[in-house]
Structure 1
Amino acid sequence: MSKTSREIVLDILLDIDRNDRFAGDALGGALRANQFMNKKERAYISRLTEGVTEQKIRLDYILNQFSKTKIKKSKPVIRCILRMAAYEIFYMDAVPDEAACNEYVNLTGKRGFRTLKGYVNGVLRSVCRNKAAITYPSMEDGVESYLSVKYSVPEELVGFLLKEYSTDQLEQILQAGEQERGTTIRVNTMQTTTEKFRNILIEKGIKVEKGYYNQTSLIISGYDYIRTVPGFHEGLFTVQDESSSLQVLAAGIRSGDVILDVCAAPGGKTMYAAEQTGERGHVYARDISEEKVDKIDENLERLELHNVSTKVWDAAVPDPDMIEKADVVLADLPCSGLGVMARKNDIKYHVTEDMVRELAAIQKTILDVCAVYVKPGGTLIYSTCTIDRIENEENVTAFLKAHEEYELESLSDYMPECLKKRAEKGYITLLQGVDHCDGFFISRLRRRK
């Protein structure tokens, strides 16, 4: 007997809870396993899974007001069922509250917890009765508590970010996670033009907006599955946020340049660099595992790019064969991911200040290794998809102190008009909710001749 959509979501949430998996990985696997479900059911599964994950702290705050047992101490199945129900009650209007309660009480029994049906029923009925009267922390109760519950972000992380951003700035950043966003793609201009491909998508009923910063970027929505979007299998586009594509533009790649992309998976930057340098140039793309490199190879084959060599290589390990071989080194390094919280809605539950400092140390090591790969007069682009100074500005300062042969060089000539002023100092931090893209840090370091 096939499972209902709610049962599938419950299994996904239990997978995340028990195996410490990221929601995107667990959801993606479940959708692939149920790829023949109709579009409406798949959308429901995605929204409920992502919504419960995104709003977990806020949902627990609500439920704890009506449960004698704290939600975190409940049995995993019951905890997930209560969160799912609360999310439907507060954020989804398709099913009346009473009907939603009945569905989840029945699901409790179906999962072998018949003795807890009364408990689940009591909590959910109380939530429904008091829905409009629930109170939440205010600013007067403390900024950290207020932002934590309102945007479902751990208080520790809120406190960490408040060291760098004002309350208003941080609230604007966190609000980005509450907003609907399309998928940003970059058109493969070696195969088609941006305008021609845009018209193809519109003809197929896909909603298309032009990008804000890159003329080859489009923002799409209203599709079922990215692999079903026209042009995917023909290599006419790749999924890439504009912030990531700006990193490649910041390099100022010229035809015939030799590029080294040290942490390249899944290949978005590699592919864009390959298009920029052309057949006269070459891109060396590396990453730490066979799985990651296979992903790069898959994308290169789909886009029919032949001026790229891939290799499994740990970026923290020096490669004597690459010393002073690269005109441009792209170092988009592993980071805390605080810039993509709006898209990857469970990153926030994993980040601590200790973790940030550990990552910053790894980044310093890799940057030191990368320094010798750049030809005199060449460019090192250091970037991350995070927004804290420890991993960004402080790493650049430490690098320049250790490598006097390098200097910061203005990014203004490589940025769109609206970002030129902020990029003059040689680096820029893009912020989700403030800019029209993911949060991202980009710096341009020139090796003196």
Structure 2
Amino acid sequence: MAASVNGRELVLDILLQITRDGEYSHIALKNVLDKYQYLDKKERAFITRVVNGTLEHMIEIDYIINQFSKVKVQKMKPVIRMIIRSAVYQLKYMDSVPDSAVLNEAVKLASKRGFSTLKGFVNGVLRSVSRNLESVAYPSEEDRLAWMEIRYSLPQWILKQWLASYDEETVKRIAEEFLKEKPITVRCNLEKITKEELLKLLKEEGVTVEEEPAVPYALYLSGYDHLAGLNSFRQGYYQVQDISSMQVARWAAPKADDYIIDVCAAPGGKAIHLAEILAGTGHVEARDLTEYKVGLIRENILRSGLHNIEAVCKDATVRDEASIKKADIVIADLPCSGLGVLGKKPDLKSRMTEEMQKELASLQRSMLKVVKEYVKPGGKLLYSTCTISRDENEENARWLTEIDPKFRLIRQKQMLPGRDPGDGFYIAMFQRENDE
């Protein structure tokens, strides 16, 4: 059965779903890996690496192809373009795959997909790239933006934005961090298991585990095949959550019996973390907009085994009268441009635009305006995003204190990849004055 499935063909299908059909990379990849769970670990790792690598380095890959192809990348047929792109990624970044195998498989794939008349074209372009990879003419480092765009495969508008806020070395460090392969980060469910017991169990399951000195309940996992295939995961001994995202519950520091509303909670990492800290007391209401997202939260709650948390379908832009001044803590981790998680969601590099980012900053304000009303006098509001953007982060925090002086900004932090552990992430904590 497995022999009839061609890994490179699956790579092509996933990349087309993402770049042509608009599917999110993490969803497209997960769907295919879930469907073909029977493929061996090596094949699954190959598929994951080629898909993510092609997306991560796409700006550089297109730049290389355009030096050796008479037909420019954007003029190619989508199937041919994607076959060549993923082949160039393998030629440049995967020493374990012989160049001849990359070329042969690409030509076969073009033919199999009904483009046998273009076999010669595919072969010719890839042969030229293969022979001349070491002599590609990159932009001069003096042309700072053009060099950084190609070197880090980052759109110039993003680089300009970051260079306006941070020095060049910091921006380079962020960009480099996004291109590194990283283990998955999980948070140990200390209500169910001790960290020592979990470490022992994971090692028995053949998982490579590293600890994070800065956060005692965080672990880095790698070397496993399929997360849902691990008994430790199915038992709810840990939740997948980034280090930076774990800071939200640490900052919120809930007290026993607190009532907490998380207004955009899917897939539920922060809400579950808060429910764990409440240790069986209080109540967390984890909300999201669609039944699909609420379903994801419910799955994670079920695995966690917690009873002081529920998932509810509610729109954060619509005022919920029943919640006014009810919550001790409101968590507003709002939809954002995602520029802090480009290492995990590389398709955002080509998907996100400056215009969309402006619209998101405006959406965040309209949501904050609604959900701040759910905070009790004396209670806390935590606003967070997984982006690196002053408009979406510091400027929105400043705006909130201007439109409603009852909310005092207690602290805020922009976490940066390469400087801080984890993703690019922003948190601002406000306290509502106790006017009663």
TM-score, normalised relative to structure 2: 0.97
String of CA shifts for 1:38-78, please: whole Å, max 9, x gaps. Answer: 11111111111111111111111111111001011101111
Q: Which amino acid aligns with 2:418?
A: G
* 1:276-325, Cα deviation, whole Å (9 max, x unpaired): 12322111111001111111111111111111132111111111111111
Structure 2 CA distance, aligned partners of 1:145 and 1:405?
46
For 2:133 and 2:234, how far apart are their aligned partners in 1? 47
Kept after mapping to 1: 8 A contact 2:191/2:279: no
2:414 to 411, 417, 429: 429
Aligned to 1:132: 134
Distance 2:338 2:206 in 1: 33
Q: CA deviation at 1:17?
A: 2.4
Among 416, 424, 441, the residue aligned to 2:426: 441
1:35, 1:427 → 2: CA distance?
42
Cα shift at 1:147: 1.0
**Displacement of 1:235:** 0.9
Moved over 3 A (4+): none
Question: Secondary structure at the residue paired with 1:327?
Answer: strand
Corresponding position of 1:413:
none
More displaced 10-residue stretch of structure 1: 257-266 or 11-20: 11-20
Between the aligned partners of 2:269 and 2:213, the Cα distance in structure 1 is: 18
Residue 292 (structure 1) aligns with: 293
Q: How far did 1:213 drift?
A: 2.8
CA–CA distance in structure 1, aligned partners of residues 101 and 408 of structure 2: 64
3-state SS of 1:65 partner: helix
Amino acid at match of 1:66: F
Contact 1:256 1:278 (C-alpha < 8 Å) held by counterparts:
no
**What is the correspondence of 1:175-214 to structure 2 with a 5 Å cutoff?**
175-214=176-215
Distance 1:195 1:379 in 2: 34
2:168 is aligned with 1:167: yes
Q: Deviations over 1:197-236 (max 9, x none)?
A: 1121122221111124321111111101111223111111
In 1: Cα distance, 2:97 partner to 2:198 partner: 38
From 95, 99, 123, the equivalent of 1:97 is 99
The 5-angstrom pairing of residues 289-368 of structure 1 reads 289-368=290-369
Q: Are 1:28 and 2:30 matched, yes or no?
A: yes
The RMSD of aligned alpha carbons is 1.3
Corresponding position of 1:149? 150
Structure 2 counterpart of 1:9, one-letter code: V
Cα deviation, residue 14, structure 1: 1.6
Q: Do the aligned residues in 2 keep the contact of 1:430 with 1:441 (CA within 8 Å)?
A: yes
Corresponding residue for residue 80 of structure 1: 82
Offset at residue 33 of structure 1 (A): 1.4
Q: Which letter does structure 2 place at the counterpart of 1:195?
A: E
The superposition leaves residues 134-159 of structure 1 with CA deviations (integer Å, 9 ceiling, x where unpaired) of 1211221x222111111111222222
CA distance in 1, matches of 2:376, 2:147: 50
Per-residue Cα deviation, 1:232-281 (whole angstroms, up to 9, x for no partner) = 11111110111111011100111111111111110001101111123221
SS of residue in 2 equivalent to 1:117: helix
Q: How far apart are the structure 2 equivalents of 1:99 and 1:322?
A: 61
User: Contact 2:56/2:343 (CA < 8 Å) preserved in 1?
Assistant: no
Partner of 2:39: 37
Give 1:167 deviation, angstroms.
1.9
Q: 1:234 matched to which residue of 2?
A: 235
Is the contact between residue 340 and residue 387 of structure 2 (CA under 8 Å) also seen in structure 1? yes
State which of 69, 72, 82 in structure 2 corresponds to 1:70.
72
Deviation at 1:385, TM superposition (A): 0.6
- Report the count of equivalent residues: 432
Aligned with 1:52 (options 48, 51, 54): 54
Contact 2:261 2:331 in 1 (8 A): yes
- Is residue 275 of structure 1 aligned with residue 276 of structure 2? yes
* Match of residue 423 from structure 1: none
Identity %: 45
Distance of 2:246 and 2:131 partners within structure 1? 49
Matched residue type, 1:385: C
CA contact (8 A) 1:157 1:351 kept: no
Q: Is the 8 A contact 2:212 2:220 kept in 1?
A: yes
Partners of 1:398 and 1:147 in 2: CA distance: 32
SS in 2 for 1:379: strand
- Counterpart pick for 1:9 among 1, 8, 11: 11
Letter in 2 for 1:283: V
* Farther-moved stretch of structure 1 (129-138 vs 156-165): 156-165
Determine the structure 2 residue equivalent to 1:121. Answer: 123
Query: Contact 1:262–1:329 at 8 Å: present in 2 too?
Result: yes
> Distance between the aligned counterparts of 1:166 and 1:38, measured in 2?
44
In structure 1, C-alpha distance between the alignment counterparts of 2:378 and 2:196, rounded to whole Å: 36
Partner SS for 2:232: coil
CA–CA separation in structure 2 for the residues paired with 1:280 and 1:110: 60
Give 5+ residue unaligned stretches, structure 2: none
CA distance in 1, matches of 2:285, 2:205: 36
Shift of 1:110: 1.8
SS across alignment from 1:265: coil
Residue 105 of structure 1 and its aligned partner are, at CA, apart by 1.5
Q: How far, CA to CA, are the matches of 2:336 and 2:8 in structure 1?
A: 34
